[in-house]
């Protein structure tokens, strides 16, 4: 089970008190009608947005492993993903495409979106999120190979900084035969490109 890191210097103030202080430092009045319950709402929202720290991704996958003789590519694509950038704590939003070639074991299809959810509901960077998904599948079922591609838009680029509204970041992690065999990698990339809906 993953655990959060607790800073002892913050234990004297509640989450709500910290949010209230932030509201004051932004120049607002936390007693104003629209802001009175904001600290509680923010606390509840962040608990939900970072709930992935409470789950063990490998244990979750191991609950739905099945022995098969199938050895062709399995792809789960266009999985919606919402995460928080660890640098600015602003959302990044996109789609995840996952493929693997079994080596005697397959994962229940619903567990791949669940795995994505666990890792994305943490403070993240897109690059780490991509490799965590791939490496967890590789470690848990030891397939012939795993490929993960994430396409995402980052509000820290869209709302602030360079303020580019239509830019997207694409990251990939290729393990096993997806790294070693160009034909396998190209088949995966071709199959996820041929889709009607983009990011």
What's the mean pLDDT when you consider all of the chain? 91
Q: Where in the chain is the domain with CATH 1.10.286.10?
A: 8-49
Parallel, antiparallel, or unpaired for β 145-154 and 123-124?
A: unpaired
Residues with catalytic annotation? 85-88, 126, 154, 156
Give the tens place of pLDDT for each residue, 90-115.
Answer: 999 999 999 999 999 999 999 999 99
> What pLDDT does 198 receive?
45
User: Which residues of the chain does CATH 3.30.1130.10 include?
Assistant: 65-193
pLDDT value at residue 12: 63
What is the DSSP pairing of strand 105-107 with strand 65-67?
Answer: antiparallel
Q: Is pLDDT of 56 > 50?
A: yes
What's this model's pTM, rounded to 2 decimal places?
0.88
Say if CB 159 and CB 174 are below 8 A apart.
Answer: no
Which range (97-101, 155-159, 175-179, 195-199) has the least confidence?
A: 195-199
- Residue 76's pLDDT is 97
What number does CATH give the domain 65-193? Answer: 3.30.1130.10
Q: Which residue has the tokens 């800073």?
A: 7
* pLDDT greater than 70 at residue 11: no
CATH class (in words) of the domain with range 8-49: mainly alpha
pLDDT at residue 199, as a whole number: 44
């Amino acid at each position: 089970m993953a655990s959060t890191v607790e800073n002892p210097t913050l234990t004297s103030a509640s989450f709500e008190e910290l949010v209230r202080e932030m509201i004051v430092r932004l120049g607002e009045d936390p007693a104003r009608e629209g802001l009175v319950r904001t600290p509680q709402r923010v606390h509840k929202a962040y608990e939900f947005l970072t709930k992935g720290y409470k789950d063990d991704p490998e244990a979750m996958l191991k609950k739905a492993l099945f022995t098969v003789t199938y050895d062709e590519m399995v792809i789960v694509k266009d999985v919606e993903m919402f995460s928080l950038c660890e640098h600015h704590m602003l959302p990044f939003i996109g789609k995840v495409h996952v493929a693997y070639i079994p080596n005697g074991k397959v994962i229940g299809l619903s567990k791949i979106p669940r795995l994505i959810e666990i890792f994305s509901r943490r403070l993240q960077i897109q690059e780490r999120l991509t490799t965590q998904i791939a490496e967890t599948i590789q470690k848990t079922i030891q397939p012939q190979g795993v490929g993960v591609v994430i396409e995402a838009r980052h509000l820290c680029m869209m709302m602030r900084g360079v303020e580019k509204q239509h830019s997207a970041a694409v990251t990939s992690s290729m393990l096993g035969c997806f790294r070693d065999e160009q034909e396998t990698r190209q088949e995966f990339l071709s199959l996820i490109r041929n889709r009607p809906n983009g990011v």
